Structure 1
C-alpha cells in the first residue's frame, strides 16, 4: 500500500522547470534538535535531497497561473466519498480533499517533506516519530488541524479502515497528542525504518466533522477536508467536480506552490473505455493516459490530431514497474500445486502477443521489482545466497541451480515446445488428457474463469484461452462492470484475474499486505493470490526490518526469487514510459520529471484554450 499510495501521490504532482529550487539559509540546529534529530523532511535513501528553507519543488513552475476547468474521464462508477473502507466505491479524485502530514517530492526516490507537519522529530533510539503541526493548518470550515485529529484518524483507520492499515501500522505501540499541535507515535521496535514515512502519508481527517457519522459506511455527502480541493457538483456514477479552495491554507508552502492550478477538476464517468475514448476525440474531455497499445498505435489518427489540436506524448519515467500478470487465486484448490501454476505460465506466448496485439511496444516482466536494482537475476550468490541457504530445505532445488527464466518463443503462435513442457508438469500434478479434456484422477475437468473488469483485455485473454484449450484446459473469460469486479476481488471470489502490483525503490511494510499469511484472509486486502508461505513471511520480515540499503537489496532480491519460483502469476509486460494525449489547452513545466507525468503542475493556458474551444465549437474534429 505504501508503494501504491506513493505512486498515486507522485502521479498527481508535477513535471518541472530548470533552476526552480532556491534554498534559504538553514537555521542553526540547537542541542535539542541534535538529540532528537528534528528535520524538515524524511528520506529512505539517506539525507533528503532538498534543504531546509527550499521554496518549492524543483520541477514545478512556482508562478503557474490558477484558473480554468479541466475535464477528465474515468471508467467505472462511484457511490461514496470514503476511500478508506472496504464498503462502497469511492470517487477516484476524492483524496484531494485531505492533506497529509508529509508530501512527497516527485523527482526524488522515497523523499517527503513537512506539509501539515512543520517539523518531524526522530528520537535517537528510533523508537518513534513526532510531528509538530503548522499553526496555520486549517480545515475548510476554518477550524485548526490538531494533534487530536491525527490521533483520531489513526485509531479510526486502525479500527475500521481497509485491512492494509492494520498491517501498515502494526509496529505502532501508541499515539498521543502531547499538545494541540504535537502528536507522538511510539514504536514497538527500532527496525521498521520506513514507518515514519508511512505515518506521514496518512490523510488527516477532522474528528469534529465525523462525530455522529458512521465511518465504516459509504459516505454520500461531501466530506470536510483541509486539502487544495473540495467536492463541488456531483452525480453519483456520472460526474464529479472538484473545486479549488481559493483560500487554501497551504497555498504558499514550498510543498504546494505551483501545484493544484485548475479551478475545477471535472471527472466524467463512463462504463466503457471505448465510449471514454470517443468522448475525448469529440472534445468532451481534455486529457487521458493511454494504457492500450493498439489504441496508442492506431486510435489517434483523427482530424484534431492532424490539425495539431490534440497532442500525443510518450513521457519516459524512471520508476520501478512492479508486476502485472494473470494472478492465480491459490485459495482455490485448482491452483495450489506449484506445477500447475508453472504450466499455466509456460502456455502464455508473450512474443506472439507483443507482435500481433501490442505493436512491439512492451518488455516482458520477469521480476516483481522490475526496472530497478532490486530485481533478482541469474543464480543467487553472496549475501543473497547466504540468506536463502537458511531456508534451503523449504525451497525448490531449482531456485539454487537454475536461473528463473520465462519462455521465449518465435512469435508464430505455435508454441509446441512450451505446451509439451506444460503438459508434462500437469501430468506430474495428477492431470491427464482424456477425450481431449484435461481431467484429474476423479475425472473432474480442469476448468476455471479469467475475471476481467474491462472489455479491452479480452483481446489478450481470448488467445490465451485458445492456447490453454490445446492442453484440454477449459478456461473462460468473464467481463463484469468495475463495481462488481471490485466486490469480487475484495471477497476473493475469482479464479484468475489480471493483477498489477506496484513497487517502489524502497519496499517495506506494504510487502506484508501483498504476500504474508496474515494478509491472505481479511476481506479487501492486497494479497490477491492468497500467498501463505513461511519462507515468504520470513523474507518479508527481513525486507521490512532491513537496517541499511545493502541489506534491503539482498532481502528484496531473495523475496523476489522465492515469489518467482512460486509461480503465482503468469507474468505479462511493462512499459518504461507514460502515454498521454491531451487537447492543446495546457501550459506545463518543460523539465522532465522522474515519475514521467506530474499532471498536477499543469495549468490552463488561456490563449491555447480559446483556440481549442473555438475548434471544438466548429465540430467535425473526432473523425
Structure 2
C-alpha cells in the first residue's frame, strides 16, 4: 500500500495537481497532513430544515430567492461566480492575466510529489491507497476551469456554457461539441452523467457528502445535461459540480474504478497522455499536441512542457539530495531549516539553483495540533486552553524554524475572513441567538494565540495552566496531575513521520514539568491512516485548505453529522450545534459580505472553544527550483501555478545567463 493518498477536490482548478497545498509544517509532517486533509477542500452539503411560515411570508421569501438567482444567471454563461457578481474575465477574453500567452511549447519539467511514499494505482478519486493527484487536470479536464486570480470563479472548458436556474435549483451544462477523449471518442452528456454516478457510488466518500444536495441528473441531449438540486442553500454547489472531471464511459465500464484500476493507462480528455509509469516511483505525462482544448482561452499559455514527470520519494532528505544533484527540477519545501540551509552551495550562489517564497498573497491553510474531542479528557475547554498555553511557538520558531513562520490564530489566516477585530454589529446580530451556547469571549474579545517571550522559560504560562487544570478537576499528586479517581492526566500524540518528534519533545518536557504525561508514538503511514479514519488517537497534527469562498467543505471539516465518519476531515470529532448553525448560515448567504460576516463568526466560535492548538504558516510557498524556466511577470495570486511556466534552457543558467535569455520571463528576484 502506498504511503499516502491525495484526494483531488473538485474545488481545485483543472491544473491544481501541478500545485502544492500550502500547509506550513516543519519537515515532512506536511506529508501526513496531505494524507489526512486531501481536500484542498472537499465539499459536502446537508439538508437544512426550513420552518413553516405564513403563506404571505413564504411567497415573499420565494420571490426573494428567485430575484437573487435571476441576477446570477437565467441564460447560458461562459463563467460561474458564487454570488452572481461579474467575473473578472468577459465572455470574449483571450487568456488569463497571469499567463504568458506566447509561452513556447516544449522541454520538460520534473518535480517531486507532494506526497511521501509510493503510489499504488493511478486514479486519485477513491479512498483506497494512494493515486496520482496530477491525473486530475492533466489527464482529465474538468467541465470548467477555475481561475487563479479570483476567489472562486470557473470558466467553461469541456462545457462551453453553463446555465444556473433562475430559482437556483438547477444547473445546465452545454458541452463543447469539439470535446474529445484522447482516443477520438466525442465527450457526451452520457459521459458526464456516468462520471457523476461513478464518483457517487465508487469514488471517495467525500463526493457523496459534497453533492448530497443533488436531487437528480438528466441527460437532455448528446451535449446538454441538467443537474437538479434539493435546495438552493449552497451557493458554491454549482461551481463544485462544474469542476468535476469527465471520464470515458466506454472505457471505464469494463474496469474496476473502485480499486483505482491499477496501472492500466486510461484515455483522458486533458492536455496530457500518460507516457511512462514506473509503478510507485514516478510517472511521466506527455503533452498531446492535438488536444482538442489547446486553443481555448482558459488554456492559453498553460501546459507548456512536452514532458512533465512527478518523482516520488520515501524520505524528504533523500528528495533534497536528489534535487541538489540535478536529477529533478522543482521541490516544495516544508522545513524552514531545509529551506534556509540545506540547499547552500555554489549552484545557489551563482543562481543556477533558485529558491523563493511564491504566492505570498495566497490564503494560508490552517494547521494545528488537534484534540480528539470524543476523548473524555479533552471535553473541558479549560483543559484544552491549558494545554494550548504550554506549546511555546516563539521558542520553537526561533530555535527550530529560523523565525520563518507566522503564528496561526485564525482558521482563515491571511484572508478577509479572519476574525482579527471585535465583532461588528452585523456579526453580533448573527451571534446573539447563540449566546449561552458559545464562550462569552466570542462577543467582546479578540482571540490571540498564547504568546511567550521566546526564551524557553514559560513559568507564568505553566502557573496559569495549572490553575485551569485545577478548575477542571485535575490536581497535583506527587509528580502527576490526577483527577478525583486518582488517574493521572496522560495522552498520546500519534505521528507517522520521522523527524517530527523533535518539534514535540520540548512540549513534552514542558508538560512533564507540571505533571502531565505526553507520549509521542510514531507508526507507519498505513497504520496511521487507518487509525485516523477510525478516530483512534488522542492528538494529531492536521491542516485544512482554506478558500476565500468557503462552502460545504466546512461541514466536512467541522460538521456534527460527520464527526465520526471515516471519510470526513472532521479530525476533531467536533459536534457543536453552534458551529453547524453558523456553517448553515454561511452556505445560505446571498452576498459576499454576509458570507464574510458568518465566516468571521464561525472563526470566533472555533477560536474561543480551543478545539486545537494553533500552529503556524509560512510567508508564501517555499519553493526550490533549477533556474531554467520562464515565469510569467504577472503572478497568479492564489498559487505558484507552475503549469504556467515554460522551458528557457535545457540546463540551469546562472543569474547573468538567465538575464540574457529570459525573454518574456520575470527574473527570479522579481517574484520573491
SS in 1 for 2:221: coil
Query: CA contact under 8 A between 1:514 and 1:526: conserved in structure 2?
Result: yes
Inter-partner Cα distance in structure 1 for 2:154 and 2:11: 13
Deviation at 1:462, TM superposition (A): 1.8
Post-superposition Cα deviations, 1:206-246, rounded to whole Å, max 9, x if no partner, equal 22212132332232122332111222322332222222223
Rounded to whole Å, the distance in 1 between the matches of 2:521 and 2:290 is 48
**Is contact 1:59-1:589 (8 Å) kept?**
yes
- Residue in 2 that maps onto 1:202: 244
* Residue 157 in structure 1 maps to residue 199 in structure 2: yes
Alpha-carbon distance, 1:163 to partner:
2.5
TM-score norm. by structure 1 comes to 0.90
After superposing the two structures, state which structure 1 stretch, 592-601 or 5-14, moved more: 5-14
1:41 paired with 2:47, answer no
Deviation string, structure 1 residues 263-318 (Cα, Å, up to 9, x no partner): 22222211111111111111111111112111122112122212321112222422
| C-alpha contact 2:13 2:147 (8 A) present in aligned 1 | no
Deviations 1:401-438 (A, max 9, x none): 43322222111111111111212222222222322122
Is residue 2:123 matched to residue 1:82? yes
Find the counterpart in structure 2 of residue 68 from structure 1: 107
Matched, 1:309 2:352: yes
Greater mean alpha carbon deviation, residues 538-547 or residues 208-217 = 208-217
Is 1:358 matched up with 2:401?
yes
Aligned twin of 1:479: 522
SS in 2 for 1:606: coil
Equivalent residue, structure 2, for 1:561: 604
Is 1:260–1:600's contact at 8 Å kept on the other side of the alignment? yes
What TM-score results when the alignment is normalised by the length of structure 2?
A: 0.84
Aligned residues: 595
- SS in structure 1 opposite 2:297? coil
Residue of 87, 95, 99 corresponding to 2:141: 99
Cα distance in 2 between the residues matched to 1:311 and 1:7: 26
Q: Conserved in 1, the CA contact under 8 Å of 2:147 and 2:154? A: yes
Cross-structure match for 1:141: 183
Deviations 1:548-603 (A, max 9, x none): 11211111111111111221110011123122111122122122221251100111
Write out the 4+ residue segments of structure 1 that deviate beyond 4 Å after TM superposition: 1-4, 7-11, 32-35, 607-612
CA displacement at 1:494 relative to structure 2: 2.4
**Bigger CA drift: 419-428 or 531-540?**
419-428
3-state SS in 2 of match to 1:477: strand
Q: Kindly indicate whether the alpha-carbon contact (under 8 Å) linking 2:563 and 2:574 is maintained by their aligned counterparts in 1.
A: yes
CA contact (8 A) 1:377 1:403 kept: yes
- Pairing 1:145-544 to 2, within 5 Å after superposition: 145-220=187-262, 221-544=264-587
CA contact (8 A) 2:108 2:305 kept: yes
Cα displacement (A) at 1:10: 5.0
Counterparts of 1:302 and 1:549, CA distance in 2: 48
SS of match in other structure, 1:561: helix
Tell me the C-alpha RMSD between the 2 structures.
2.4
Asked whether the equivalents of residues 2 and 509 of structure 1 are also in contact (C-alpha less than 8 Å), the reply is no
Q: How many Å separate the matches in 2 of 1:192 and 1:466?
A: 46
My pick for the range that moved more, 259-268 or 115-124, is 259-268
Task: State the distance in 2 between where 1:73 and 1:589 align.
Answer: 22
Residue 493 of structure 1: CA displacement?
Answer: 2.7
Q: 1:157 to 1:247 in 2, by over 3 A?
A: same
1:12 aligns with 2:9: no
Partner of 1:575: 618
In the aligned structure 2, how far is the partner of 1:610 from the partner of 1:300?
A: 16
Q: Give the Cα separation in 2 of the matches to 1:434 and 1:464.
A: 21
**Are the equivalent residues in 2 in contact too, given 1:164–1:526 (CA < 8 A)?**
no
CA distance in 1, matches of 2:195, 2:512: 51
Distance 1:266 1:35 in 2: 40
State the Cα deviation string for residues 9-64 of structure 1 (Å, max 9, x = none). 457379xxxxxxxxxxxxxxxxx999822210112261110011211111111222
Report the secondary structure of 2:109's partner residue: strand
What SS does structure 2 have at the residue aligned with 1:600? helix
Q: Does 1:547 align with 2:590?
A: yes
Deviations 1:462-507 (A, max 9, x none): 2222222222222122334444433333333322111111111111
Unaligned runs of 5+ in 1: 15-31, 613-623
- Going from structure 1 to structure 2, the CA distance change for 1:40 and 1:506 (only over 3 Å counts) comes to same
CA contact (8 A) 1:352 1:412 kept: yes
1:55 equivalent among 94, 100, 103:
94
Once residues 491 and 212 of structure 1 are traced to their aligned partners in structure 2, the CA distance between those partners, rounded to angstroms, is: 32
In 2 relative to 1, CA 482–255 (structure 1 residues): closer, same or farther, beyond 3 Å?
Answer: farther
d(CA) in 1 for partners of 2:9 and 2:384?
Answer: 26
Aligned residues of 1:10 and 1:105 also touching (Cα < 8 A): no
Secondary structure of the 1:175 match is strand
SS in 1 for 2:505: helix
